[in-house]
Amino acid sequence: MTKLTTNDSGEFVRSGNRFDDRITAGGASGWPVEPGRYRLVVSLACPWASRAVLVRRLLGLEGAISMGIADPIQDERSWRFTLDPDGRDPVLGIHYLAEAYAAADPSYDGGVSVPAIVDVPSGRLVTNDYPQLTLDLSTEWREHHRPGAPDLYPLEWRDEIDELNELIFMDVNNGVYKAGFASSQEAYERAHDALFARLDWLSERLATRRYLVGDHLTEADVRLFTTLVRFDPVYHGHFKCNRHKLAELPVLWAYARDLYQTPGFAGTVNFDHIKRHYYQVLDQLNPSRIVPAGPDLSGWQEPHHREVLGGTPFGEDGTPPPDVSDLG
C-alpha cells in the first residue's frame, strides 16, 4: 500500500526500495539466473508491478519465472493472496507477501510493495527494486527470452532511454502521485503543472515518431504506458490530474491506443483491479470507497493510425508474443 508521506511543504515523498539484490546471469550477486527458481509477485492494479508483468510477457519469460497475483484490495498486512484457493499463493504457500519480506529480514517493519521477486526454495524476498527489476529481465535473463523477443534496452540507446525514464518518472509516473497525495495547495499545483508540462513535451516528441526511442518498443514506452493506461480511469479524477483527460490529448491518446493494441499489452491490463484498488484502498482520498462507473473504455480499440510514422513494435526481425494466459 502506498504510504501518504509528505514533507513540510506538503509534497508527497515516495519511500525507497529496501530490498535491492539483483538476479544476475553470472550469479555474482548471490542470486543466479535460474529458470523455475523465482516467483514474481504482482498486483495488476499497480503501475510499477504492471511494468514487470508486461516486460515478462513481451520477452516470453512465462516459462522461466512464474507469477503470483495479489488481490487488488489490501488489508492492514498489505498484499494478500485471497484470489487463490485457501487464500494462499499456490507456489510459495503464504497468505501474505509480507511473509516473504519477513523471511528475508525478520526485523523489517516497513512497507510491503510489488513487484517483488521471491526465491521459491527459501521463501525469501530477493528484490522489490522495480526500476532495476525490468532492466534485469531484459539483460540478465536474455538467454531465456523467446525467439523474436524485442530488445527493450538496446545498448546503443541506453543513455537516451535512461534520461527519458528519469524525466518520465519524476513528472509523470510519480508526478500523478505527487499531485494526488499533496497535502498543500502549492504542492499540488506544482505537481499538476509539472505533469502536464511533461505530457505536452511528450506529445511534441511523439508527434513525429511512433516510439519514444528508436524505431521499436523499449523500456521507456513500457514505463510511460502503465501510467497512461490508468490516467482517465483513476488519475484524472481521483488524483486531481484534471487539466485534460488522456482522451483529450490527441497525440498521447493515439500513442497509448497503439501500444494497447500491440500484442502483449492489453492482456496485462485489468481495469477492474485498477479501479477497485485505487478507489477502495486509498480511503484517505475516497472515504466512501465508491468506485466510479466510468469512463467508457471502448475507445481503447479505436484505430490509432500511428503506423504511418514507421517503425515496428518488436524490431525488424522481432515477432509478437504468443497468446498465453496466466493472469487469472
pLDDT at position 326 over 70: no
Does the annotation place 201 within a ligand binding site? no
Bridge partners of residue 117, in order along the sequence: 40, 127
Cell numbers that stand for 307 in this block:
503506423
Q: Tens of pLDDT along 215-256?
A: 999 999 999 999 999 999 999 999 999 999 999 999 999 999
Given pLDDT bands bounded at 50, 70 and 90, which one contains residue 3? low
Q: To the nearest whole number, what is the mean pLDDT of the chain?
A: 96
Q: Give the pLDDT score at 325.
A: 65
Q: How far apart are CA 179 and CA 193, in angstroms?
A: 9
Q: Which pLDDT score is estimated for 328?
A: 53
Q: What whole-number percentage of the chain has pLDDT above 70?
A: 97
Give burial (CB, 10 Å; 0-12/13-18/19+) of 121. exposed
Q: How confident is the model at residue 165 (pLDDT cuts 50, 70, 90)?
A: very high
Mean pLDDT of 38-59: 98
pTM of the model: 0.96
Residues β-bridged to residue 116: 41
- With cut-offs at 50, 70 and 90, classify the pLDDT of residue 134: very high
Mean pLDDT of all residues in 41-58: 98
The Cα 161–Cα 159 span in angstroms is: 6
Predicted local confidence at residue 1, as pLDDT: 47
Q: What is the mean pLDDT of residues 62-71?
A: 98
What's phi and psi for 187, nearest 5 deg? -65, -40
Q: Is the pLDDT of residue 294 over 60?
A: yes
Is 4's pLDDT higher than 80? Answer: no
**Domains recognised in the chain with CATH numbers:** 155-276+296-309 (1.20.1050.10)
pLDDT at 29: 87
What Rg, from alpha-carbon coordinates, does the chain have? 19
* Segment 291-305 mean pLDDT: 97
Which residues carry out catalysis?
A: 46, 177
Query: Does the pLDDT value for residue 306 go beyond 50?
Result: yes
